[in-house]
Amino acid sequence: MITLGIETSCDETAAAVVDRGKVLSGVVSSSVPLHRKYGGVVPEIASRFHIEYINRVTKKALINAKKTIVNVELVAVTELPGLPGSLLSGLSFAKALSYSLNIPLIGINHLHAHIYANFLGKKRFSPRFPFIGVVVSGGHTNIFICRSIKEFSVVGSTKDDAVGEAFDKVAKILGIGYPGGPLIEKYAKRFLRFGMARDNNSIDFPRVFLDRNSLDFSLSGVKTAVLYYAREKKLSRREIARISWSFQEAVFDVLTGKIITACKRFGIKEIFLGGGVISNKCLRGKIKAACKRLGYKFFFPPAGLCVDNAAMVAGLGEALYKYA
Ligand code: KG4
Ligand code: ZN
């Protein structure tokens, strides 16, 4: 079923064409450069950008898929969660397309789509339910139990900042740029290269587990600890590397610990990950080590499909329309 996906929940304007689970094309135009000087997403700038680019991005996705608009049989669009103005831009566009072409429209949960990204490109859609789904992004940090393609129950979420958001804010404190996640990962790798890890030179930032039984997260404490540590200091590159490494370790130790606790609590041994932060190699390494120790399996989406994209929206839309 030729499905056009539209994604505009935050700062990426994206369109993609998917047919029977296969990604025929995917185009993403990002307003990140416009937000850089503010160190975070400015909602008004993001929604104006969507309005300006959604048409071109969709046309390009259709051309790349070697299709025209009349070939489209279903429109899938992110309907929540997200920035209201940004969501509204994509929703209005998708509704207008569906109405004028007289084809069905399906609204998609952005977080469920991040998890669904794991199944794109697979010949048959046949995951074994239930599994643990985890979304770690700029706007969200959630652990789900996924019992069927339309039953995703939240069992843990952040009480304050999302993990990606905390990375972006710490990068702002360190003055290294935006978006912060990939930059902190880069500096943390330098820490290893400088040989500083060998000398046990890391900073003991707090690992905030809240109540040990809780599957929820809180990132504001570790973020404030970085702020207090770094303030009024002239930070050398080595010092930035040391802070980046130590912050990353503290956050990912907790995240990995909570994911494993969720698996144990519900007796589930398969984990499907999604969201921009899942691109981080240190995080993947920690989850891999824990899974190896316990005999669990973990999966993450192919390159380019961890961050926001429309293929995951089209894919989940098609699956829901067909199977649910
Ligand atoms: O999934 P995504 O593209 O958008 C949202 O739905 O939020 O995630 C973007 C977030 C940003 O906060 C960015 O800093 C973070 O993902 N991120 C990373 C890495 N790459 C992107 N965080 C840590 N390490 C990375 N390599
Ligand atoms: Zn996202």
CB-ligand 1 contact for 10 (6 Å cutoff):
yes
For residue 27, the CA-to-ligand 1 centroid distance in Å is 18
pLDDT band at 126 (very low <50, low <70, confident <90, very high): confident
- 290 and 152 belong to one structural domain: yes
Q: How many whole angstroms separate alpha carbon 115 and alpha carbon 81?
A: 14
What count of other Cβ atoms lies within 10 Å of the Cβ of residue 206?
12
Same domain, 296 and 206: yes
In angstroms, the CA 241 to CA 189 distance is: 8
Query: From ligand 1's centre to the CA of 183, what distance in Å?
Result: 11
Residues 232 and 316 in one domain: no
> d(Cα 133, Cα 91) in Å, to the nearest integer?
26
Ligand 1 within 6 A of CB of 308: yes
Ligand 1 neighbour 39 (Cβ under 6 A): no
Q: Which residues pair with 16 in a beta bridge?
A: 5, 26
- Which residues place a Cβ less than 5 A from the ion ligand 2? 137, 308
Q: Are 154 and 81 members of one domain? A: no
Please indicate whether residue 168, judged by its CB atom, sits closer than 6 Å to ligand 1.
Answer: yes
Shared domain check, 311 and 226: no
Query: Mean of the pLDDT values across residues 201-220?
Result: 92
The pLDDT value given to residue 314 = 98
Q: Do residues 81 and 198 share a domain?
A: no
295 and 313 both lie in a single domain = no
Note the pLDDT of residue 199. 61
Q: Which atom of ligand 1 is nearest to the CA of 9?
A: 6
What pLDDT, in 10s, does the model give residues 152-210?
999 999 999 999 999 999 999 999 999 999 999 999 999 887 766 666 688 999 999 88
Number of domains in the chain: 2
Judgement on whether residues 94 and 185 belong to the same structural domain of the protein: no
Residue 259 lies in a domain: yes
Radius of gyration of the chain (CA): 20
- Residue 88's CATH number: 3.30.420.40
pLDDT digits (tens, 9 = 90+) for 236-258: 999 999 999 999 999 999 999 99
Mean pLDDT over 82-94 rounds to 98
Distance 168 CA to ligand 2 centre (A): 15
pTM beyond 0.85, yes or no? yes
Average pLDDT over all residues of the chain: 94
Q: What is the predicted pLDDT for the residue at 197? A: 61
Both 315 and 220 in a single domain?
no
Same domain, 181 and 135: yes
Instruction: Tell me how far the alpha carbon of residue 137 lies from the centroid of ligand 2, in angstroms.
Output: 6
262 CA → ligand 1 middle, Å = 23
Is 80 exceeded by the pLDDT of residue 324?
no
Is residue 126 a part of any domain in this protein?
no
What percentage of the chain reaches a pLDDT higher than 90? 86
Q: Show the domain range for 312.
A: 2-121+305-323
Examine the domain organization and report whether 53 and 18 are in the same domain: yes
Residue 200: predicted pLDDT: 66
307: Cβ below 6 Å to ligand 1? Answer: yes
Q: Which of 307, 309, 312, 313, when mutated, tests ligand 1's pocket best, judged by the most ligand atoms within 8 Å of its CB?
A: 307
Residues 148 and 107 in one domain: no
